[in-house]
Chain A
């Protein structure tokens, strides 16, 4: 799964994907549609923060409605020129479809809330904090009753910076602790260990998953710290990995991975409702699925070490045969264009693109495999060294789909013995369901799940 997911898109798809970035990438650093959302959200954000004080009993009280618009305008000016907000509310979580933002952090948590009611409070708090953090605003100045409510690492005003917070649940949440067994998503299991995996249990699974993505790493960390501070006791971090998305080089929209290959060239088009409903979003009435899962999306996270020193000692032609694309251009070995679809019908024995090339196994481009396409999102991770001084760097692979078995596992099964496997080592991750979106200011993550 290094180079690309199930292929099948066109240049038009790609343009569509960019359009659908919702301010995170496509409209970055311009005042696009996100601006209005930011203004609208500011009021809510401020209220949430003040509300935190209510719960802690600091004596805060909410004032009457009637948010003065000039205040919002003032704060809008403060963030002028910065990356605008990605709208938070929607049928689906809004952090799923944007192209990978430059900085990300994926964090798994163990739910430690004592009761079902406490777990609901936890989900509501996460909702409130995410609603505030993604639109930004000024944390409240409050009396002498405690340490600051905000870490201050973004200055006096929290900027949105294209922040998205994607929230999901793992299969272990549906055990007997919270009475959720009957609400378990039908297609949610523990992550399967594939034959070439070397999974570390300490970096696998989790009751809850959160992915923070933004244009700058400080915003990602600020959001994580805020969420953690506000949820102490309710959930305990389990494992975490930070990642970055490379710029497209030399030009274009497709970033290169750590093997030097353009990565994630094709995906379902996020603006094509048919593709998204066929491949990504859990549909209302999906067989066996509890109704509450509609609008959600199954999320696979795979932490994959890439043995880059080894890879760099491999002849360029062998590298390209393993991937199926040219390293320089990203073109398929049989075509003249980055978005051109390889034509396997004219190459039935793999003389040009080997039968076991990554792109050919990942997406054979047959009618039978079309429904196994996934929406792939990937970031590079960059940690320290291993025992022999090789770099511990690799891929934070994520993908979204409506059926993990039909899509990710089917694709991964085709890839089991691809030649590239010698140069990578999957060591962690998990399967989750990214919850349906938070519809509006009165909604919260998982409301229907708890109903």
Chain B
């Protein structure tokens, strides 16, 4: 069984207007009273035939095969998925619920170490729409995007390495005023790369780690935030020179490491929403302000990174995610709100200094975008299909 995140079945983000339209339309979708249908699959067969009218329906999917399996309910014509169950264990029975619309359905059982098998095609009659099927995104579709991202990020790190070299020179020469400017440039470059969680392995912690676990006085604490803390807390050039040099060295090591890496498709699709989730948690709260007051600039860099990632995935999302245009308009709105806090002298308004109404607007805009970004990993999560075998 391949490792993959659990995909939960759900509607896309619930935009304001959507719920409204539906309410005034009146007619509800709701649980059906029909008894559950049992689908039993084995190594040899993906369930038998079944009968159900349109409406809310629950299948009890029983794994009587020899191994764990994924079970999808698909449109046999094109492989689009209505509902899926991941990681059902042998001997277990798991419910799968959906709103059955009119059309053709076939279960596909992907048993570990066995080629996937399709069950019989069943037609649900009538002219009723139900849970929509979404064409799975395949690994083959994502690999080229991963390659493109690897190259794009390589270029970004190359630029970053130049900037941290300049920064180390500023600090080494004792020009801390210039160092503050160049710190911001380099840090924003890093934040534009769209790193989230483990995509840079240990390098992210070394280059952009917080003092949460170590405390600000620990020699274990390195990277941009450590340097920021020193630059904006009156630490001397001699004290900060090794800090800046270590940062520069760590970025060089990242660059060398990255040349050898391939981007994981799973990682790519998750970063599309995780980068801004982190901005909401650490930047818009002010948590990651170690003295420069530039967390709004960091958030803006994260917006740029997110827009890049979404655009990379756009060819896959355009036909699958109707909320995509809202994502773009939301990112644009957030960008515009953030740019207002970039002062003519080049400095940024710290979040702690924002009027509460402005802060509410920015937080609301970011919260809306992350809500609308949330479906992207579910939709673009790479899936195998019958055609892959």
Instruction: Give the residues in chain B near A51, CB-CB below 8 Å.
Output: 18-23, 25
Q: Are B99 and A140 in contact (CB under 8 A)?
A: yes
Give the size category of A's interface with B.
35 or more
* Chain B min CB distance to A32 (Å): 23
Taking the complex as formed, is B378 at the interface, i.e. its CB lies under 8 A from any CB of chain A?
yes
Instruction: Give the residues in chain A near B322, CB-CB below 8 Å.
Output: 56-59
Q: In the complex, what distance in Å separates the CA atom of A344 from the CA atom of B365? A: 57
Chain B 128-142: CB-based contact to A (< 8 A → 1; otherwise 0): 111111101000000
Q: Are A61 and B30 in contact (CB under 8 A)?
A: no
- Cβ contact of A146, chosen from B12, B16, B54, cutoff 8 A: B12
Taking the complex as formed, is A75 at the interface, i.e. its CB lies under 8 A from any CB of chain B?
yes
Taking the complex as formed, is B97 at the interface, i.e. its CB lies under 8 A from any CB of chain A?
yes
From 221 to 279 in chain A, residues with beta carbon under 8 angstroms from any chain B beta carbon are 229-236, 238
Q: Are B132 and A238 in contact (CB under 8 A)?
A: no
Residue of B nearest to A78 (CB): B31
Give the size category of B's interface with A.
35 or more
Q: In the complex, what distance in Å separates the CA atom of A124 from the CA atom of B360? A: 21
Taking the complex as formed, is A145 at the interface, i.e. its CB lies under 8 A from any CB of chain B?
yes
Residue of B nearest to A46 (CB): B30
Chain A 58-84: CB-based contact to B (< 8 A → 1; otherwise 0): 111111110110111111000000000
Q: Are B97 and A236 in contact (CB under 8 A)?
A: no
Stretch from B200-208, B209-217, B220-228, B367-375 forming part of the interface with A: B367-375
Taking the complex as formed, is B379 at the interface, i.e. its CB lies under 8 A from any CB of chain A?
yes
* Chain B min CB distance to A95 (Å): 20
Q: Are A52 and B11 in contact (CB under 8 A)?
A: yes
Q: In the complex, what distance in Å separates the CA atom of A51 from the CA atom of B24? A: 9
Taking the complex as formed, is A129 at the interface, i.e. its CB lies under 8 A from any CB of chain B?
yes
* Chain B min CB distance to A120 (Å): 8
- Cβ contact of B16, chosen from A46, A73, A121, A236, cutoff 8 A: A121
Residue of B nearest to A48 (CB): B23
Taking the complex as formed, is B345 at the interface, i.e. its CB lies under 8 A from any CB of chain A?
no
Q: Are A56 and B13 in contact (CB under 8 A)?
A: yes
Q: Which B residues are closer than 8 A to A by beta carbons?
A: 7-33, 54-56, 81-84, 97-99, 101, 128-134, 136, 320-323, 330, 333, 356-357, 360-361, 363-365, 367-368, 370-371, 374-375, 378-379, 381
17 A-B residue pairs with Cβ-Cβ distance under 8 Å, sorted by A, are A47-B23, A55-B15, A58-B11, A63-B54, A63-B128, A64-B128, A68-B33, A71-B32, A124-B16, A138-B31, A140-B11, A144-B9, A145-B10, A145-B378, A145-B379, A147-B8, A236-B361
Q: Which A residues are closer than 8 A to B by beta carbons?
A: 42-65, 67-68, 70-75, 110, 112-114, 118, 121-122, 124-125, 127-129, 131, 137-138, 140-149, 202, 229-236, 238, 441-442, 444
